[in-house]
Amino acid sequence: MDKKKALLVRILIGFILGSLLGLGLSKWCSSETLSRLMPFIEPFGNVLVSMLKMVVYPIILFSLIYGAASIPLKKSGRVGGLVMLWYFATSVFATVFGVALAWLMNPSVNGAKELASTYMEGANKITTSTAANSFGDFIVGIFQNPFAALADGLFLPIIVFAIAFGLAARCIIDAEGEGASSVRTMITVIDGAQQAMFKLIDWVMLYFPFGVFALSLVNFAQNGTLLFGPYLRIASCVIVGVAAMMFIIYPLAIAIFCRENPLKALRKIRPAMLTAFVTRSSAATLPVSFKSMDDLGVSRSLSSFSLPMGATVNMDGVCVHLPVFVILAANIFGYDLSLSQIAMLCLSIMFASVGAGGIPGGSVFLLFMVLEGMGLQADQVSLVVALALGINPILDMFETSCNVTGDNVCTYIVAKKNGMVDESNLKE
């Protein structure tokens, strides 16, 4: 067994053992015992997420600059357009699919008010803070000091600056004018920095099994029993939808557009899928996604653009997740949604999903926008958001894994269709 397969096996073992032990603790230990025990275990999982975030922002900066500067302008525009078209198409499909599935499965919950009461204070804070953010603030926030954005971990400003900087460098190189030689040297240095970051990822991966064990243990110890309680029907809707996207829709897309057995690509993507599941962060999973695309032979010039962009704007799991709580809200408050309202619901979910931001629990912040668009009163919105907070730590694991799988599959399909997969570099 080679090193990569051995590492994946250790990660899977860590996840299974952590999940089982976490479920056991949640069943046999009191909440007081868990509250005393978890602070000793949580740091071992949190340090993995922190290490991933330590490397992800420099990787995004270096990779996007290098990727934007490496592809001729005409080709970069075409390939970039295809990436965004794929992300848009999968978001549309996931939204329609999510709404249809939620409509068919008709989620409900017993004792909604009592169940939501524990999380009502947090829900009110979310709805208040979300309402304060305007569209103008969002647009202005895209253009910021890149160093401040790096320090604060703001994805969109980093992406916008890096792409613009890389394209500017490419314009100078293509013009072959004054400074072209210096710019080529700079891009070579940036590529060297990128290579060093990937070596750092290799070191981080050595800690992965231990971090995954701790993260899965804490997640399931604190939230695992929710899947078997009053939230069961809600959880089933989301999990069925996400599983269908990951194991039916995405493989079909690879089979149809790449004309190959999709299992080959999915096997390489497994580490990213599992990392997203346990970290609940598309952003933190980016270093692992980059490695997965490298193993598939995908050109770094494409993956360095496509994957960070996908972690920000491509949220297929969110598009499946949000409709469940919208239909749940309609059931709780007796709303009859017309066809035109369902169409508007699909549009609002699809565009709201772009704001999920690749951070843990991002979909809860978007739920406010969608529910308000339905015409719910503020107290009704708070009730549904509070219900979502109760189950979100578990559902977010499935949702994020779907998001990341979609990013990787879309990147691979675009690479395959545009001759950007080096079969000789494909790693078994």
The Cα–Cα gap between 257 and 125 comes to 45
Cβ contact 159:60 at 8 Å: yes
The Cα–Cα gap between 71 and 310 comes to 19
Instruction: Give the per-residue pLDDT at 428.
Output: 52
Q: Which domains does the chain have, with CATH numbers?
A: 3-15+42-57+91-140+207-216+224-425 (1.10.3860.10)
Cβ contact 133:404 at 8 Å: no
| H helix runs in 29-154, sequence order | 31-70, 73-105, 112-116, 120-132, 135-142, 146-152
Instruction: Give the per-residue pLDDT at 313.
Output: 81
Spell out, as residue ranges, where the chain has pLDDT lower than 70. Answer: 1-5, 73-76, 111-138, 225-230, 352-365, 424-428
| Residue for token pair 């190959």 | 260
* Residues, the chain: 428
The Cα–Cα gap between 28 and 32 comes to 12
Cβ contact 83:411 at 8 Å: yes
**φ/ψ of residue 421, rounded to 5:** -115, 120
Return left, alpha or beta for 15; rule: phi > 0 is left, psi -120 to 50 is alpha, else beta. alpha
β partners of residue 298:
421
The Cα–Cα gap between 295 and 425 comes to 8
Instruction: Give the per-residue pLDDT at 131.
Output: 46
**φ/ψ of residue 164, rounded to 5:** -65, -40
Q: What are the tens digits of pLDDT across the range 190-208?
A: 989 988 888 888 888 888 8
Cβ contact 299:423 at 8 Å: no
Torsion of Cα atoms, 213 then 306 then 67 then 4, to 10°: 30
Q: What angle do CA 271, 275, 277 make, to 5 degrees?
A: 120
The structure tokens listed for 406 are: 């979609």
Closest CA to 315 of 267, 269, 364, 271: 364
Instruction: Work out the number of other CB atoms within 10 angstroms of the CB of residue 132.
Output: 8
| H helix runs in 176-244, sequence order | 180-223, 232-244
Instruction: Give the per-residue pLDDT at 132.
Output: 44
Share of the chain above pLDDT 90, in %: 23
The Cα–Cα gap between 396 and 320 comes to 11
Q: Alpha-carbon torsion 252, 258, 321, 279, what sign?
A: positive
The structure tokens listed for 345 are: 């619901």
Cβ contact 362:245 at 8 Å: no
The structure tokens listed for 159 are: 């992406």
